[in-house]
Chains A and B, each alone.
Chain A
Amino acid sequence: MRVIGAITARELSAYFASPLAYVFIVIFLALSGGLTFHVGGFIERGQADLEPFFQFHPWLYLFLIPAVGMRLWAEERKTGTVEFLMTLPVSAAEAVVGKFLAAWLFAGIALVCTAPIWITVNVLGQPDNGVIFAAYLGSWLMAGGFLVISACISALTANQVIAFVGAVAMCFIFMMSGVDFVQSAFRGWVPPMLLSTIADLSLLGNFTALSQGVIDLRNVVYFLSLIGIGLVINTAVVELKKGA
């Protein structure tokens, strides 16, 4: 725990030591605000809820979360600090978890920065704050899912651009696995039961339920297992790359 804490603290301060953190938060706020008001019709709808706000999160995350996750391992490999880190008495799992937590906390901080919109909707009307809370939770869990995928891809390469592009592609597949045109790629050669399992694994599907205010344990378990399995794979990749 001490080691994980030290790594998380270091990584989190690394985000804020570079302009990345501020650029990210500003862009996230600007895009999510702009989309909510202009595309989502937040005002025109005349409803006191944040659905137009949350519906764009998966799309924002598709590009923004890989930008947060791409540096996690690729940068360490590029600058050689991975050798410094991994020759301290630190296990690969501790490093993986510590880094992931820092990035996830950072995504959480960005999400907290959107609080004004929650306040706004409370000023304008009487929203169901339970629903909004569930949606925030879902959004953060989804961010964790995207992040763990990005971290795995980042561990595969020393090139941050490749890490970013690879992570976007991988996140897209996970996000859309319930949508027809991704399903059609599997149709015909995988058994129908697996097909529906693939659909159940969609990030989008699991998020939609949560964003509508239904905290279904299955969706929460889905995200947590995605993160857990992702961390295990990430650890294996880091161990594997260490030997090469």
Chain B
Amino acid sequence: MQTLLDIRNLSKRFGPIVAVDDVSFQVARGEVVGFLGPNAAGKTTTMRMVAGYLPPGDGSVAVCGHDVVRDAHAAQARIGYMPEGAPSYGDMSALSLLRFVTRIRGLSAADRKRRIDEVIDRLHLEGVLHRPVETLSKGFKRRVGLAAAIVHDPDVLILDEPTDGLDPNQKYEVRNLLQEIAGNKAIIISTHILEEVEAICSRAIIIARGQVVADALPDELQARAPGHNAVYLSVAADREAAARSAVEAVEGVARIDALSGNQQSARFLAVPTDQRDILDAVRKAVANDGIEIQEIRLERGRLDDIFRELTKAA
């Protein structure tokens, strides 16, 4: 795969604060990278350096082979960047904003019209084209910001919290949009919503205190989560003790966590040693003792848990 974004040993300090500390990674065409990290981890600072807004303190960034410092305009021409909060000129209408951006970017007259029509269509901006951006709702402002970032069909797309503050429908639409356009681009989105990573990202990079602490497929991260391959089991409330002893006897069960139940059912989480697969063994053990299973399923592990484990203060 062709590498479109190449970040090497990138660092940035603000006085005593080390915001970004020796970050390196590459993103190839077709990848959608979820850029995760707690508040103040350095996500925005990293993205600003990639977009050419902040000069790198140390290290280098190349976009399609163009260094963002030495060859800034060539790099910026290939990037679509939406800053955190999607700032845009409030006094302009969505249409004049898109015209302004395409004019600055030097699209030909025919391309301008075609591309503007296309992003209006993709982001459903028809109804708000002529209203000043400052009078639009947050969701529409965000869409206008996204439209401005993708209107020149960039190879590299950098979006800082694109779905922050959107309602579930709009989040869903933005994710769909990103999936639609993902194929031939390298995309990085920063987000605090871990389910978003599972939904659209082909890769997750987690940073904490300015350093990369994980760079893996979302599935691999899940596999590293403490609860990976645990078995969730629910039985009738009066069979709780019997079920518990049956599961305890299964080989490979490290411990049993009681989950909150109710009048009808008791619920457990059977956590295996070394994340081994105990689903079948648990099912058989319980069934053999004549206990009716209300529900049983395999837990894949929660990204939240691994995120917390990787990013908690050292």
To the question of whether A and B form a pair in one complex, the answer is yes
Binding site for B on A (CB under 8 A): 2-3, 6-7, 10, 13-14, 17-18, 79-81, 83-84, 86-91, 242-244
Q: Are B89 and A2 in contact (CB under 8 A)?
A: no
Q: Are A81 and B104 in contact (CB under 8 A)?
A: no
For chain B, which range describes its interface: under 10, 10 to 19, 20 to 34, or 35 or more residues? 20 to 34
Q: Are A3 and B104 in contact (CB under 8 A)?
A: yes
Determine if B276 is an interface residue (Cβ-Cβ < 8 Å).
no
9 A–B contacts, CB within 8 A, in A order: A6-B100, A6-B104, A10-B89, A79-B90, A86-B53, A87-B51, A87-B53, A89-B104, A243-B54
- Shortest distance between the CB of B284 and any CB in chain A (Å): 59
Q: Are B73 and A89 in contact (CB under 8 A)?
A: yes
Q: Find chain B residues with CB under 8 A from A243 CB.
A: 54-55
Question: Which residues of B in the span 49-85 have a Cβ within 8 Å of any Cβ on A?
Answer: 51-55, 72-74, 76-77, 79, 81, 83, 85
Interface flags for B182-224 (1: CB within 8 Å of A; 0: not) read: 0000000000000000000000000000000000000000000
Q: Are A6 and B55 in contact (CB under 8 A)?
A: no
- Shortest distance between the CB of B152 and any CB in chain A (Å): 10
Q: Are A89 and B77 in contact (CB under 8 A)?
A: yes
Determine if B48 is an interface residue (Cβ-Cβ < 8 Å).
yes
Q: Are B91 and A6 in contact (CB under 8 A)?
A: no
- In chain B, what residue has the closest Cβ to A98? B104
Q: Are B104 and A88 in contact (CB under 8 A)?
A: yes
Q: Are A242 and B53 in contact (CB under 8 A)?
A: yes
Q: Are B88 and A87 in contact (CB under 8 A)?
A: no
- Shortest distance between the CB of B144 and any CB in chain A (Å): 11
- In chain B, what residue has the closest Cβ to A91? B73
Q: Are A87 and B103 in contact (CB under 8 A)?
A: no
Of A3, A17, A81, the residue contacting B132 (CB under 8 A) is: A17
- In chain A, what residue has the closest Cβ to B97? A10
- Report Cα–Cα, A224/B195, bound state, in Å: 58
Known: A14-B91, A18-B91, A242-B54. A87 touches B81 (CB 8 A): yes
Q: Find chain A residues with CB under 8 A from B148 CB.
A: 84
Known: A17-B132, A79-B90, A243-B55. A2 touches B103 (CB 8 A): yes
Assuming A6-B104, A83-B48, what are 16 further A-B pairs, CB within 8 angstroms? A2-B106, A3-B104, A10-B89, A14-B91, A17-B91, A17-B92, A79-B90, A81-B88, A84-B87, A84-B89, A87-B83, A89-B72, A91-B73, A242-B54, A243-B55, A244-B14
Of B55, B77, B79, B88, the residue contacting A84 (CB under 8 A) is: B88
- Shortest distance between the CB of B17 and any CB in chain A (Å): 12
Question: Which residues of B in the span 132-149 have a Cβ within 8 Å of any Cβ on A?
Answer: 132, 148
With most chain B CB atoms within 10 A of its CB, the pick from A3, A7, A18, A84 is A84
- Report Cα–Cα, A17/B96, bound state, in Å: 12
Question: Which residues of B in the span 226-259 have a Cβ within 8 Å of any Cβ on A?
Answer: none
Q: Are B92 and A87 in contact (CB under 8 A)?
A: no
- Shortest distance between the CB of A21 and any CB in chain B (Å): 11
Determine if B302 is an interface residue (Cβ-Cβ < 8 Å).
no
Q: Are B52 and A87 in contact (CB under 8 A)?
A: yes
Q: Are A10 and B92 in contact (CB under 8 A)?
A: yes
- Report Cα–Cα, A44/B26, bound state, in Å: 78
Q: Are B53 and A83 in contact (CB under 8 A)?
A: yes
- In chain B, what residue has the closest Cβ to A6? B103
Q: Find chain B residues with CB under 8 A from A91 CB.
A: 73
- Report Cα–Cα, A90/B103, bound state, in Å: 11
With most chain B CB atoms within 10 A of its CB, the pick from A3, A87, A89, A244 is A87
With most chain B CB atoms within 10 A of its CB, the pick from A3, A7, A14, A88 is A88
Determine if B8 is an interface residue (Cβ-Cβ < 8 Å).
no
Top 6 closest pairs, chain A to chain B, by CB: A80-B87, A17-B91, A89-B73, A89-B76, A87-B51, A6-B103
Determine if B105 is an interface residue (Cβ-Cβ < 8 Å).
yes
Q: Find chain A residues with CB under 8 A from B104 CB.
A: 2-3, 6-7, 88-90
Determine if B125 is an interface residue (Cβ-Cβ < 8 Å).
no
Q: Are A88 and B53 in contact (CB under 8 A)?
A: no
- Report Cα–Cα, A114/B53, bound state, in Å: 42
- Report Cα–Cα, A10/B92, bound state, in Å: 9
Q: Find chain B residues with CB under 8 A from A79 CB.
A: 87, 90
- Report Cα–Cα, A10/B91, bound state, in Å: 10
- Report Cα–Cα, A83/B87, bound state, in Å: 8
